[in-house]
Amino acid sequence: MRIEISGLTKTYRGGVAALDGLDLVVPTGMFGLLGANGAGKTTLMRILAGLVQPTSGRVTVGGHDLSTGAGRTAVQRGLGYLPQDLGVYPDLTARQFLDYLALLKGMDDRTARRRRIGELLEVVALTGDADRRLRGFSGGMRQRVGIAQALLADPQLLIVDEPTAGLDPEERIRFRTLLAQFAGRRTVLLSTHIVDDVAQTCREVAVLSRGRLIFRGTVEELTHRARGRVWSVVTDGPPPAEGTVVSALPHEGGMRYRVVAPASPAPQARPVEPALEDGYLALTAR
């Protein structure tokens, strides 16, 4: 499902512009959306899911115009959505919760619905907890229920907003792998501020800043933005004043700093190969 966005603007009460003339094309496959908190990612996700109406601009998903009721309904029929703040019904068991949402997604055949729910509980490793009430689930378990509900109707478009926030490292890796496996010929839009999640799963990425698109290209191209700007500085003194410190590791009585800076931040600095996070910082630090 190809997503085409042109001139998209969203202004909230109080004049807060969450999106400001956004133009973006999202192709089939896994696509990353990066940006700091408040960059407009969640607003974009909500517009694509049909929850929020844009102030102006045009969005089509798989050829369906989201500005019309018929278009929104058509998109929602093929949509899986995992919101940033996943709310669940704590009095329902995981199986009941999925069953209820499957009914809302139009899965009326009871046998097929139960089979699909069983498969997904297996995929997210919750079969053993399927008949426990959700009020007793940890954050990570709830997030797994969240991804299971998003996959219920075998969606052609999967929108996941900050899906790995709050997950432990093992769960994060399992979650990323699951998304990447699912993508195939579908579109998966992964919105996050965790750069590593995009680095590990996406081929293409867009970066938002203050409601505007500041980059769109491949992960390699974004990484390349930091070429010649990433430095390793070993010192027993204070961190370099110039640039952005990406990491700090103890090193032979001192510290080894990884710094993104347009020029050498210290006399002893030596250039190193950039990673995606460096490219993102080089882009947003301007």
* Least distance to other proteins, CB of residue 118, Å: 16
Q: Which of 101, 81, 94, 85 is nearest to 145 (CA)?
A: 94
Q: What are the structure tokens assigned to 205, written together?
A: 């990425």
Residues listed for the chain: 286
Q: Stretches 101-109, 169-177, 209-217, 252-260: which one binds other proteins (CB under 8 A)?
A: 101-109
Strands 56-61 and 16-26, bridge-based pairing = unpaired
The residue from 106, 128, 237, 250 that contacts other proteins (CB under 8 A) is 106
For other proteins, the closer CB: 11 or 264: 11
Instruction: Enumerate the β-bridge partners of residue 250.
Output: 255
Q: Does 117 bind other proteins (CB under 8 A)?
A: no
* Least distance to other proteins, CB of residue 198, Å: 23
Residue 191 near residue 161, CB atoms below 8 Å: yes
155 sits in which H/E element: none
The set of residues, in sequence order, having a beta carbon less than 8 Å from that of 47 and lying 6+ positions away, is 8, 10, 19, 53, 54, 59, 66
Helix (H, G, I), strand (E, B) or coil at 44: helix
Q: Does 83 bind other proteins (CB under 8 A)?
A: yes
Q: Stretches 52-60, 123-131, 170-178, 228-236: which one binds other proteins (CB under 8 A)?
A: 52-60
Q: Does 15 bind other proteins (CB under 8 A)?
A: yes
Q: Does 267 bind other proteins (CB under 8 A)?
A: no
Residue 231 near residue 272, CB atoms below 8 Å: yes
The residue from 29, 62, 105, 165 that contacts other proteins (CB under 8 A) is 105
Extended beta strands in the chain, E state: 3-12, 16-26, 29-35, 56-61, 64-65, 79-82, 157-161, 187-192, 204-209, 212-218, 230-235, 244-251, 254-260, 270-271
Q: Does 156 bind other proteins (CB under 8 A)?
A: no
For other proteins, the closer CB: 164 or 284: 164
* Least distance to other proteins, CB of residue 170, Å: 26
Q: Does 184 bind other proteins (CB under 8 A)?
A: no
* Least distance to other proteins, CB of residue 247, Å: 35
**Helices and strands of the chain, counted as H and E runs:** 9, 14
* Least distance to other proteins, CB of residue 137, Å: 13
Question: What is the phi/psi pair of residue 56, to 5°?
Answer: -155, 170
Q: Does 115 bind other proteins (CB under 8 A)?
A: no
Q: Which of 232, 258, 255, 223 is nearest to 244 (CA)?
A: 258
The residue from 4, 21, 65, 88 that contacts other proteins (CB under 8 A) is 88
The residue from 23, 25, 68, 77 that contacts other proteins (CB under 8 A) is 77
Q: Does 234 bind other proteins (CB under 8 A)?
A: no
Q: Does 81 bind other proteins (CB under 8 A)?
A: yes
Q: Does 112 bind other proteins (CB under 8 A)?
A: no
The residue from 8, 22, 94, 149 that contacts other proteins (CB under 8 A) is 149
Chain residues that interact with other proteins, rule: CB under 8 A: 10-15, 43, 46, 49-53, 55, 73, 76-77, 79, 81, 83, 85-92, 96, 99-101, 103-106, 110, 149
